[in-house]
């Protein structure tokens, strides 16, 4: 696709004079003034506009009247990573020559501004890698942005840095900027404020892992916080991207973060509210220091306008509930941002039509704001109880629940009392369930109660699971002899091909309803010659095979269940498949090429070291981190998946005989959600 690329010439400002201007400007701004950008509405709907690069391909002037601020996308820096270029495909939405298209675009900006709208230029995005490592690079970038703002009369500058543009800030601490990227970014933002005045909007849209993520992890997580803290006195507002992450991130939020109890559903009204509150109340990070809260008028939240626009999209009613809750608790809370206006237009403007009335009401421009309420989760007051009956006797399980709405029921059979999931029992859809008792043994059941409330304006259904109950069936005439249950192997070990001295982890995963599991690994001559020799000390679910010699060796594991309560055989064993571990030379790759596009899993050599690509990238320096991971062991990056373990984007694992690559940080099983790709 041909793109409109507008490149600018630069007039160098003497650095010493410019530094004095910035210093005087920052001294003149009280640290907690609420008067910045006074011409803005107190509450805002903010949307990104991409020209012809996505969405409905409508002109800027055709955007819905409900948008208060429009972020034009994007300034990019292809080539040097510090020379700003306005990158839009105007010919898709504007007719005529390139000059005609630019003139029409500028006219639209002027017309919207006459209606009180603010048009902000955004820098970065997925493809806009930005690096300024020296004062000279910083000045070229700053002067180029000033020229762009002047030519198009933009009302502000939005920092939408992603990937390595933020990853290089990792060493910074709150109150102590040490990386050139952060130091120069603060300089640039203060320079723009000094050049265009107090009403000039300074906003930011980092992914939430780079902000609130600092409370739960280190490294890239929280990397944007130090520069955000340094620029808080000139920041108009921040609207982090609450998408493209992992929905369970904050289920292990540390109490020491002083951010309240943990919450697991990022993509929910509670998640958007809690994440926003963290920025207002402040929190303690894992390795960046203490982040002091921002003013409520400096905080908004960013969400996808509809399915397809971003991972985790919810219905506009969910966003409305979060927005209403936040404005009710923090009357000056700034508002909501979405990616993108074009995506919303393809959905009949459902996002802005739902959210703008709430913003208008909060600004005092309408009478009553609509109220969005979710269906009430059922309250279970009577749990099903364990049953012990003889063969063919009745085993009746009951659940008692209540809610404002209509209740429905579904019973499930499950492997044990704590292993939820299981299988729905056909026809078991009432509050009472008579479990089958024709065969002696113990089975487990629980019930999911669902409340449907058609009067709810948000989510119309809500469910809750009961406790699981055991139904033990015994013979009345003869004693039941019960043997220990044989383990069930869920995941067996897989073949490995690794470099000399690289890690070769062989893992087996097994479950059993009752008893205790033990493991013993064996070495064997071939894959089919079972017997072999027990390996001394190899008695865990994971065995690290030796790789100090180039050869092929074979291994398998015997898993034994010991059940001392069994009345028959108290042990039962199962043997895994045998696998080959082949030790070969180190993984090599082509020399890194700045102009080449790399996808996740590709290997390159850069400055004598081996790196593996974690996701799509072009031009990101491997040594900067971000999309690249250093391979210290020269191995093939492949390890057996460990249930419950956390994996970073780009990690490669073996799972159930297949190879998977993580798309982003995750602790879910491969294949269970979109965080993994089969390779």
Catalytic residues: 162
Check: CB of residue 249 under 8 Å from CB of residue 318: no
| Three-state secondary-structure class, residue 328 | helix
Residue 628, both tokens:
């690249």
Residues constituting the chain: 679
What is the Cβ-side half-sphere exposure of residue 198, based on CA atoms within 13 angstroms? 14
Ramachandran angles phi, psi of 156, nearest 5°: -175, 180
Check: CB of residue 238 under 8 Å from CB of residue 225: no
Closest C-alpha to 545, from 581, 514, 598? 581
Prior bond to 74 cis, omega within 30? yes
Beta-strand (E) ranges in 206-333?
Answer: 237-238, 283-284, 290-291, 300-304
On the 0-12 / 13-18 / 19+ scale of CB atoms within 10 A, 608 is exposed
C-alpha dihedral over 632, 637, 638, 641, to 10 degrees? 70
List, in sequence order, every residue forming a beta bridge with 95; answer none if it has no partner. none
Residues 22-59, buried b or exposed e (16+ Cβ, 10 A)? beebbeeeeeeeeebbeebbbbbbbbbbbbbbbbbbbb
Residue 38, both tokens:
């006074």
Check: CB of residue 424 under 8 Å from CB of residue 472: no
Residue 246, both tokens:
């992992």
Distance from CA of residue 552 to its chain's centroid?
40
């Amino acid at each position: 696709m041909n793109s409109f690329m507008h490149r600018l010439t630069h007039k160098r400002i003497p650095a010493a004079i410019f530094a004095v201007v910035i210093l005087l400007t920052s001294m003149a701004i009280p640290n907690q003034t609420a008067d910045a950008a006074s011409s803005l509405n107190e509450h805002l709907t903010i949307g990104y506009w991409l020209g012809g690069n996505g969405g409905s391909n409508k002109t800027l002037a055709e955007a819905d009247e409900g948008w208060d601020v429009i972020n034009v996308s994007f300034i990019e820096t292809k080539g040097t990573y510090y020379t700003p270029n306005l990158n839009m495909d105007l010919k898709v939405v504007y007719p005529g020559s390139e000059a005609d298209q630019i003139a029409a675009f500028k006219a639209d900006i002027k017309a919207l501004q006459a209606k009180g709208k603010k048009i902000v230029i955004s820098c970065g995005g997925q493809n806009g890698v930005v690096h300024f490592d020296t004062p000279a690079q910083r000045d070229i970038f700053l002067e180029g942005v000033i020229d762009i703002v002047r030519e198009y009369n933009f009302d502000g500058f939005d920092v939408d840095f992603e990937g390595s543009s933020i990853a290089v800030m990792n060493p910074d601490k709150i109150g102590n900027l040490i990386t050139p990227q952060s130091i120069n970014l603060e300089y640039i933002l203060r320079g723009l404020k000094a050049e265009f005045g107090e009403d000039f909007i300074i906003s930011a849209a980092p992914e939430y892992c780079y902000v609130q993520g600092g409370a739960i992890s280190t490294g890239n997580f929280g990397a944007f916080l130090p520069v955000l803290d340094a620029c808080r006195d000139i920041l108009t507002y921040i609207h982090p991207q609450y998408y493209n992450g992992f929905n369970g991130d904050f289920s292990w939020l540390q109490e020491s973060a002083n951010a309240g109890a943990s919450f697991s559903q990022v993509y929910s009204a509670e998640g958007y509210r809690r994440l926003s509150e963290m920025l207002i109340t402040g929190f303690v990070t894992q390795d960046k220091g203490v982040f002091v809260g921002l003013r409520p008028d400096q905080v908004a939240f960013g969400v996808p306008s509809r399915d397809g626009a971003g991972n985790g999209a919810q219905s506009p009613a969910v966003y409305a509930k979060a927005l209403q809750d936040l404005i009710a608790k923090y009357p000056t809370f700034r508002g909501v941002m979405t990616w993108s206006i074009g995506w919303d237009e393809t959905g009949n403007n459902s996002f802005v039509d739902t959210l703008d009335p709430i913003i208008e009401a909060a600004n005092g421009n309408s009478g009553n704001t609509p109220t969005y309420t979710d269906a009430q989760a059922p309250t279970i007051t009577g749990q099903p109880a364990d049953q012990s009956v003889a063969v063919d006797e009745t085993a009746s399980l009951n659940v008692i629940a209540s809610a404002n709405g209509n209740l429905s029921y579904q019973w499930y059979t499950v492997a044990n009392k704590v292993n939820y999931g299981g299988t729905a029992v056909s026809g078991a859809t009432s509050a009472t369930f008579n479990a089958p008792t024709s065969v002696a043994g113990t089975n487990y059941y629980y019930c999911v109660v669902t409340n449907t409330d058609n009067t709810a304006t948000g989510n119309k259904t809500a469910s809750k699971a009961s406790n699981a109950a055991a139904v033990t069936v015994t013979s009345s005439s003869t004693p039941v002899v019960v043997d220990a249950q044989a383990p069930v192997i869920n995941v067996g070990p897989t073949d490995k091909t690794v470099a000399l001295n690289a890690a070769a982890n062989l893992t087996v995963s097994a479950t059993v309803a009752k008893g205790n599991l033990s493991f013993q690994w064996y070495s064997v001559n071939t894959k089919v010659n079972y017997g072999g020799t027990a390996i001394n000390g190899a008695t865990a679910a994971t065995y690290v095979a030796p790789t100090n010699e180039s050869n092929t060796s074979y291994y398998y594991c015997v898993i034994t269940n010991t059940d001392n309560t069994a009345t028959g055989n108290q042990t039962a064993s199962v043997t895994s498949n045998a696998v080959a571990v082949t030790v070969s030379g180190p993984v090599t790759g082509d020399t890194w090429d700045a102009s080449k596009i790399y996808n996740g899993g590709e290997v390159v050599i850069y400055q004598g070291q081996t790196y593996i690509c974690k996701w799509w990238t072009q031009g990101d320096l491997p040594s900067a981190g971000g999309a690249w991971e250093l391979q210290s062991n020269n191995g093939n990056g492949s390890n057996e998946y460990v249930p419950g373990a956390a994996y970073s984007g780009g990690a490669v694992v073996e799972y159930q005989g297949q190879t998977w690559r993580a798309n982003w940080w995750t602790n879910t099983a491969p294949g269970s959600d979109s965080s993994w790709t089969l390779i």
